[in-house]
Chain A
Amino acid sequence: MPGLDRKDTRFFILIVAATLLMPFILQPFPEGSGMAQFNAGYPDLMQRFVIFGIFAMGFNILFGLTGYLSFGHAAFLGVGSYATVWMYKLLGFNVVPGLILAVICSAIFAVVIGYVSLRRSGIYFSILTLAFAEMSYRLAYSVLTPITNGETGLQVYSNDPQVLMGPGSPESTHFFGLEMASSYVMQIGGWAFTFNFGFYFAAAIFIAMFYLTMRIFRSPFGMMLRAVKSNQQRMNYTGLNSRPYTLAAFVISGSYAGLAGGLLAAMDPLAGAERMFWTESGAVVLMTILGGAGTLLGPVLGAGFIKYFENIFSKINDNVLHGWFAWMPDGLEDFMVAIIHPFVGKGWHLTLGLLFMAVVIFLPGGLVEGGQRVARIFRRRDKKAPEGSPEEQAAEQRNPGPAE
């Protein structure tokens, strides 16, 4: 790939393949089997994986590279969604104008918030961004009702202008006529694989953003951002004003969030204030740290993990548990269900919280570090087998942590 070296190209191809094959990879269990509820290969969830992957990837450009911890990134997600839905209302259900406006609006919004918040660093910066996001949420919820439709949320009504809608135009979100909702189901044996256009549309954008992120990481600009995190004082005494760099990182990451918000509205033409709520801002912080801040793949993995928990673990209720342990004697069955009950269903947050704590304590580099440790164990085991070129080994020694 242009701009990437051999190792990065291989890594990128792997990412592309994994993304495009998600409908297979996430559907390992046949329909109707006991494990089928752990399948995640349905369109709605897969769309979330890639969209929140974009969100976390953008957040990581700010937090992972410069170390500035924003607690208000959900504001940009919300702005993106509102902008996109407005384009549906004014022009029609083609998602392209909406996505473009989402990126523009969130970027402008990020310039304003970033300009003010970046005057401080550390905890004060975090508090400022949190305050801005809360303000945006309150405004969207009540004051700006004419723009946001307040509590109800913004949606398309039949009397909206939609000036670009012809008689034959689809009545749901589409990309030049290809509807996001359209799916094709492939039956192979007991398995059902769903190929959804909305997912592939979002996945294509995800891949493009992943490529862009990779280029940013490997660029002199990315190096400057890491320098900001490492030693801002030295940077200043080296003749570099760190402010424009941090502002640029903030705006880039805000635009990623805006794009993700727009994509959420592209899959489902709604926008609500709750998308700006502080818990959403907190979630992206968790995703990034869980996966591995400052790494390319980490935030994406973290996003996938959290969305998987949110959607799969939350569906395991007592009935399901009783089903699993039905083979046990009655007393023991009830006992097992009682023990596991707090960790699943509505209690999925508890499992996630414990997992998060375990990762932060034992794997400060996140899931990516976990993966690297496992890989190292395997590599040590087949030490005698011939390995990659000496160049590669040197490169690995050079970047023990933050490579991918």
Chain B
Amino acid sequence: MGILEVKGVNKRFGGLQALGDVNLSVEENTVHAIIGPNGAGKSTLLNCLVGKLIPDTGSVMFAGQSVLGRKPHEINQMGISRVFQTPEIFADLTVLENVMIPCFAKRDGSFRMHAIESVGSEKEILEMAEQMLADVNMLEKRDMHSGSLSRGDKRRLEMAMCLVQQPRLLLLDEPTAGMARADTNNTIDLLKEINQKRDITMCIIEHDMHVVFSLAQRITVLAQGTPLVEDTPDKIKGHPKVREAYLGEAA
């Protein structure tokens, strides 16, 4: 049994079958990549995992519990964090505040009214957030307005916001899109280290094959809403069905 078990998930948008009978099993402490052409339904699948969408049929189990019907914040509290395809950060807040908020969320659960304490007196949270920023090489930008960061930095910030919560499962939707080559390599190193040292399971969507093959232990290829194959990176590389889906070659 994997930590994440997706069984028979279907999702239609009007006449479009965005997901057709998707089965997916992610083993604990592995990096599982989902690849596929544009419009294959990769983001839609993630949306079904975090409570943004509810599948028409099928089941999604995380660590033995169903996530269907739960609110996004409840699913996060079960231990699933997500980095979005277009960065979702608190653009009006500073970089440090962006990272502090998930720390508070982790410590206090969904709601705690701390209206009188000052932010500065929360030493533990501050330390945690600063340590995290140091880990992603963004400490010198801590007081910057996060809305004015570059696209790559926004992505790294969002990753820091997810990682600081120490989730059990981290979902990454194209985490290196918009990053320079050097930043992409840093991100690969960071994710590798996190996967090994902190025991975080990862499910990553990526178009950049260099990233996929450096990180993933298993790869699922999705095309037109249906998984074509699931295998190890080596096997996937030469698979005829994959070449067909990606390059449009006649079989």
Contact = CB atoms under 8 A, between A and B. Distances in A.
Contacts of A226: 90, 92-93, 97
A395 to B, nearest CB: 8
Given A5-B120, A219-B119, A220-B119, A235 B114 contact: no
A224 B104 contact: yes
Interface stretch (A40-48, A76-84, A112-120, A237-245): A237-245
Given A220-B114, A223-B100, A231-B91, A241 B119 contact: no
B117 interface: yes
Contact of B72 (A219, A231, A237): A237
Contacts of A233: 88
B116 interface: yes
B91 A221 contact: no
Given A223-B119, A229-B92, A240 B110 contact: yes
A3 B117 CA distance: 7
B208 interface: no
A138 interface: no
A216 to B, nearest CB: 5
Nearest to B92: A230
Given A236-B71, A238-B105, A241-B111, A220 B117 contact: yes
A383 interface: no
A231 B93 CA distance: 10
A240 B73 contact: yes
Given A220-B104, A224-B104, A238 B116 contact: no
A3 B72 contact: no
Contacts of B71: 236, 241
Nearest to A394: B143
Contact of B114 (A219, A227, A236): A219
Nearest to A225: B115
A315 interface: no
Contacts of A224: 101, 104
Contact of B89 (A5, A234, A239): A234
A234 B100 contact: no
A142 B119 CA distance: 48
Interface in B95-142: 97, 100-102, 104-106, 109-111, 113-122, 125
B161 interface: yes
B77 interface: yes
A373 interface: no
A349 interface: no
Interface residues of B, number: 41
Contact of B110 (A220, A237, A241, A252): A241
Interface string A245-278: 1001000100000000000000000000000000
B50 interface: yes
Contacts of A341: none
A351 B106 CA distance: 51
B187 interface: no
A175 B185 CA distance: 70
B82 interface: yes
B165 interface: yes
| Chain A: interface size category | 20 to 34
A222 interface: yes
Given A234-B89, A238-B76, A227 B101 contact: yes
A218 interface: yes
A39 B93 CA distance: 41
B100 A241 contact: no
B114 A239 contact: no
The interface centre, meaning the residue of A220, A221, A229, A235 with most chain B CB atoms within 10 A of its CB, is: A220
B101 A221 contact: no
Contacts of A245: 111
B92 A239 contact: no
A322 interface: no
A239 B91 contact: no
B105 A240 contact: yes
B184 interface: no
B251 to A, nearest CB: 40
B153 to A, nearest CB: 16
A398 interface: yes
B23 interface: no
A239 B88 contact: no
Contacts of B165: 238-239
A236 to B, nearest CB: 4
Given A244-B110, A245-B111, A239 B116 contact: no
A239 B118 contact: no
A218 B77 contact: no
A230 B89 CA distance: 8
Contacts of B104: 220, 223-224, 240
Given A223-B97, A239-B105, A230 B111 contact: no
Contact of B73 (A221, A239, A394): A239
B224 interface: no
B232 interface: no
A248 B113 contact: yes
A215 B101 CA distance: 18
Given A218-B119, A226-B92, A394-B143, 18 more contacts: A215-B115, A219-B119, A220-B104, A220-B125, A223-B101, A224-B104, A235-B73, A236-B72, A237-B76, A237-B81, A238-B161, A239-B77, A239-B165, A240-B101, A240-B105, A244-B111, A248-B115, A252-B115
The 10 closest A-B pairs by CB, nearest first: A239-B76, A221-B115, A244-B111, A230-B90, A230-B92, A239-B105, A236-B72, A398-B143, A234-B88, A241-B110
15 contacts: A218-B118, A220-B104, A221-B114, A226-B90, A226-B97, A227-B93, A229-B92, A230-B91, A234-B90, A235-B101, A237-B88, A239-B165, A240-B105, A240-B110, A244-B110
